[in-house]
Structure 1
């Protein structure tokens, strides 16, 4: 299949508002892929590359060669070229990668170049979400959508599901099931502004888990083999030897555990998220055989001797039983997970689990939360589980929320004990509540958009006021939260304020105030103030405020230190 046809489909999907029309366009493109092109082609239609890492950054995408006049690339040729780029390493790798990237872009037409930029940057916004693609795969393969969705949720791999459905049909899809060692898309939590709204969604009684300020992990154990995956299903086993050791010490034979890992200080309080993330990204485990699933031998005493595959507890709907489950897990009075441990030992990341998806041959995915959590309490010691309380009233949930914040955690996740584990979905069964920080900042510059945002000024450079100089200190960038209406408005606005333009970044007079929501403040050597905002997103522009009234760098640092003193805005 020609790559230009994928580019045309992508553009058409982006320009189409109707769901059925989008599905029809995607299904037609999927039907036209050759069997050996399905994996790459499905990835491109989903707005991603088959290869997770390519070494190609924004800087490499700015200086592009002239596009080709005629389309000649095929899907297979593009995939082969990107595969070659992704494995370049060693001396001279930068020059070699640039050469290969230049050759690929030289062979691409202007439309194909635009698609490649979106794919490499991860910012292709064409409206082809996983749900739409699941329906498109079902349509192209002429099979029920439910089977495609279930396979997608269990495998977490859209490309695999597309290839399986289009080559083997419903029968082949049915062979995709929960397997220890194969990561699956985690259940996600919705959001609520406060515990009252969260409990309205989940119902009562509800279980209130501390939302840890760590990284999401999914841990698979089969005998003496352990594999650890991130939320995005990347294998990080070799980076977390402490987690491997703890899981090997559990009295289980097979298990799939869902939880978080975080770094603690000597008192047992969580270290800043940035430190946890950095440790997980760079920590290299001691040699354990070199496999992606770290292999360590545990004594037979760590195995569940009974081998009973039907040992999952039976459901019990009573609040008292839920309280017993929480108490059995050692959580009802300990919202700050990990205080009972020697947190400074080895200085490593510690796991805290909140769900159990498989235990010794029994799948628990479709069981209600109370069943899974009772099994978790039986299999995992209290020191390795999250803080959990049962709340029958809003006041009880609010107390748990306050306790979690006091312990240095992000907030809470309020959960329905009746709900199954909804793989890969974000619904009302789990609802997170976090304190929302907002700041009024000043736009210092704005970057030209590409892909779907081509022709607009998009990515905002944000600055806080320096009360000592009267100037502004950059805190980072964001394009999150920008609707098409805001994009149109800010493009005109910042053209009026522009003072310099290098073809990529438009520097503007620091006059426009924007209200930004964010999840926290982290240290950052990239910016002059030494701090940056986590998950910044635009709420609204503040035409009622002058730049001289914007929040200060001191306020940002106070929030980062946990001592905000911002007056009412």
Structure 2
């Protein structure tokens, strides 16, 4: 199958904003994909090469990409860079360079999807001495045989800046439509494996029956079960049917641990493999989790010298560190607090009630230095739960989680079977979808950001406010650098941003508003932090904004 066919699909997707049309286009394309490519193509359609949980990455920046295109075309690097200043889009500039191609290959042959993918795999595997040279030659090899349009989308895939508007929800619906299977079964299989390539293959070759039999797999992370917010312990107890398991809500980073003998993989909340950055945690898991094969969940907390928890951003610093890890282990010690068991030695536990899952977790975990079970209290007493809540806050934790004792584990679901209890209205994790250039000394910075919540029904993002405060000049410089490659349109000082970057936002209150299509607006929103642990579809939903608005209004009534 030729890569030009995929490039044609990208172009058609770019030209429509209608979700139904995009879904149909992707479904029609998937039906044409041969069996041997069906596990590859879904990720390419998303503008990726590998799943988020796959450790492999291309590791190619704009500079190396431009150098490879210059090598392939004979167009100078400076000419390509000058073109970017005009187009504002490196993909378009590479397309123009390929139109002017001065280098001719005697052995030129049409690009196939298989060849592009195999070259990208080789790029990701290049390491050690002269690895950049090997990456350069591999990329130049692909661009040498690429047509102009193919070059535009190859560049965007390499840089992770595809702008076709295809998100996970749309791909799920397209797989269902392409292979005449139930969307809910595609969703279930994806929630259990986080692997659209695998799910597409099962849907194509085995249909509904195959999708129904999909099970969790060690080495493929499960989408985490999520929680809503409660106004307090009394509401939580009512929702839980009178008795609940209350756990300390740690201010850390949620992790999912997969163990298969001596192999341990740790995934972040965003399902990225962070194993290499936390070797001491891996050793503790090997020593203290007494199961040959297991999937367990917990919260990784950074601990200060006084033994109190530090903000979760310290854990993210550990996740990002690739070098001098021993030094970081001393600077930012971590503690793992395990709270759930999803799989133990051949036994799947997600259909088992929480009460039994917790017992199984307690059976296989031997607490020790840096690894323990999340502190819990099972009670039907609001007074007892309130005391536990105050003690958690006194110790420096965020609050409590309340969980139904009979609740099964529902991957990816945000229901009322798990509730968060915090002393303030919850901050929101929102996606930047627009920005405005600043004035005066901030004229070169994008200084005000339009933020949006995710609408899962539409598979799109709906705005809820503009954030302009809480940023330092360093923050603005960092965000401007991150967002410039994601600018899709410019209208005077305002720009439209491809939804990729998630930020945490605090606010005074949520108001009803006719100004935004979401129907809501944040009053006095303020930037808190960059959520590098979240992708755009992990952002808070508009349903959550609506629930927080109702919660806010009920608290006013009290």
When normalised by structure 2's length, the TM-score is 0.62
C-alpha deviation, 1:368, in angstroms? 2.7
User: CA separation of 1:394/1:54 partners in 2, compared to 1, >3 Å: closer, same or farther?
Assistant: farther
**Cα separation, 1, equivalents of 2:136 and 2:235:** 50
C-alpha deviation, 1:55, in angstroms? 0.7
Question: What does residue 159 of structure 1 align with?
Answer: 197
Question: What does residue 501 of structure 2 align with?
Answer: none
**Cα separation, 1, equivalents of 2:13 and 2:212:** 29
When the two structures are aligned, how many residues end up with a matched partner? Answer: 431
Segments of structure 2 that go 5 or more residues without pairing to the other structure are 67-80, 82-89, 102-108, 429-435, 450-465, 496-522, 541-558
Alignment of 1:434-449 (within 5 A): 443=438, 444=442, 445-446=444-445
Contact 1:368 1:419 in 2 (8 A): yes
Segments of structure 1 that go 5 or more residues without pairing to the other structure are 287-343, 450-459, 467-471, 496-513, 523-531, 540-569
* Root-mean-square deviation over aligned CA pairs: 4.8
Alignment of 1:374-523 (within 5 A): 374-380=359-365, 384-389=372-377, 403-432=391-420, 443=438, 444=442, 445-446=444-445, 472-475=473-476, 477-478=478-479, 491-494=491-494, 517-520=526-529
| Equivalent of residue 358 in structure 1, options 335, 338, 343 | 343
Does residue 68 in structure 1 map to residue 98 in structure 2? yes
Alignment of 1:70-85 (within 5 A): 72-85=110-123
Contact 1:154 1:185 in 2 (8 A): yes
Contact 2:14 2:164 in 1 (8 A): yes
Question: What does residue 224 of structure 2 align with?
Answer: 187
Q: Deviations over 1:286-312 (max 9, x none)?
A: 9xxxxxxxxxxxxxxxxxxxxxxxxxx
Does residue 91 in structure 1 map to residue 95 in structure 2? no
C-alpha deviation, 1:356, in angstroms? 0.9
- When structure 1 is superposed on structure 2, of 37-46 and 201-210 the one drifting more is 201-210
**Cα separation, 2, equivalents of 1:132 and 1:269:** 43
**Cα separation, 1, equivalents of 2:271 and 2:204:** 23
Question: What does residue 5 of structure 2 align with?
Answer: 5
Question: What does residue 216 of structure 2 align with?
Answer: 178
Question: What does residue 35 of structure 1 align with?
Answer: 35
**Cα separation, 2, equivalents of 1:77 and 1:15:** 27
Q: Deviations over 1:510-537 (max 9, x none)?
A: xxxx965444489xxxxxxxxx999999
User: CA separation of 1:534/1:159 partners in 2, compared to 1, >3 Å: closer, same or farther?
Assistant: closer
Question: What does residue 564 of structure 1 align with?
Answer: none
Q: Deviations over 1:88-111 (max 9, x none)?
A: 233333344345435544654554
Contact 2:468 2:527 in 1 (8 A): no
**Cα separation, 2, equivalents of 1:279 and 1:145:** 38
Question: What does residue 135 of structure 1 align with?
Answer: 173
**Cα separation, 1, equivalents of 2:317 and 2:199:** 32
**Cα separation, 2, equivalents of 1:520 and 1:392:** 37
Contact 1:202 1:430 in 2 (8 A): no
Question: What does residue 115 of structure 1 align with?
Answer: 153
Contact 1:49 1:119 in 2 (8 A): yes
Question: What does residue 60 of structure 2 align with?
Answer: 56
Question: What does residue 544 of structure 1 align with?
Answer: none
C-alpha deviation, 1:163, in angstroms? 2.5
Question: What does residue 318 of structure 2 align with?
Answer: 279
- When structure 1 is superposed on structure 2, of 183-192 and 357-366 the one drifting more is 183-192
User: CA separation of 1:61/1:392 partners in 2, compared to 1, >3 Å: closer, same or farther?
Assistant: farther
C-alpha deviation, 1:216, in angstroms? 2.7
**Cα separation, 2, equivalents of 1:104 and 1:461:** 42
